[in-house]
């Protein structure tokens, strides 16, 4: 493996501990906000460092009306199971997606960005579903 893509065990442990805390904080936030679908917050140290260390670009979202040159130093934490209709009170397992984004501070702008982000995620999932259905039809596989 090229040197630039290697990560030391120590660095992996540091990132892992930092992420565990962020995951716990996000989980608590969503418990306290059972109707929320997306949480916008400043990014913390190491949150997307693994992507950078590996020379990859983290997933990102820039809402309409925001400049592409604004630093993406915030995070949109998306509660996918709630988007899919899961009951937030059911104590079920959850699935969250973390996406780099620009600072979105006002509640009004966050609400607008939430709608746009959910629509983009929904469209992407629908495209994946359609592509999988097409691939299954072309190869003769059952759905």
H runs (alpha helix) in 1-143: 9-32, 49-53, 80-83, 107-139
Question: What average pLDDT does range 43-65 have in this prediction?
Answer: 88
Question: What average pLDDT does range 103-111 have in this prediction?
Answer: 97
- With a cut of 90, say whether residue 121 has pLDDT above it: yes
- Confidence band of 6 (pLDDT split at 50, 70, 90): low
SS3 for 61?
A: strand
Q: What are phi and psi of 127, to 5 degrees?
A: -60, -45
Contacts of 63 (CB under 8 A, 6+ apart): 101, 102, 104, 109, 112, 113, 116, 117
- With a cut of 90, say whether residue 120 has pLDDT above it: yes
Overall pTM surpassing 0.85 (yes/no): no
pLDDT tens-digit readout, 25-45 = 999 999 999 999 999 999 987
Q: Where are the domains of the chain?
A: 3-139
What mean pLDDT value characterizes the chain? 85
Whole-number pLDDT of residue 136: 63
Q: What is the DSSP letter of 90?
A: S
Question: What average pLDDT does range 3-16 have in this prediction?
Answer: 63
CA distance 119 to 112: 11
Chain centre to alpha carbon of residue 100: 7
User: Which tokens belong to 31?
Assistant: 């418990």
């Amino acid at each position: 493996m090229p040197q630039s893509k290697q990560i030391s065990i120590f660095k992996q442990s540091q990132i892992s501990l930092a992420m565990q805390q962020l995951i716990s904080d996000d989980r608590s936030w969503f418990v306290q906000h059972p109707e929320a679908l997306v949480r916008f917050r400043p990014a913390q140290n190491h949150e997307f460092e693994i992507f950078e260390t590996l020379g990859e670009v983290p997933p990102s979202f820039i809402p309409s009306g925001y400049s592409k040159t604004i630093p993406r130093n915030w995070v949109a934490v998306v509660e996918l199971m709630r988007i899919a209709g899961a009951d937030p009170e059911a104590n079920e397992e959850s699935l969250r997606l973390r996406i780099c984004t620009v600072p979105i501070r006002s509640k009004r702008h966050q609400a607008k960005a939430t709608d746009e982000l959910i629509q983009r995620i929904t469209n992407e999932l629908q495209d994946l579903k359609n592509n999988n259905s097409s691939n299954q039809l072309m190869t003769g596989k059952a759905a």
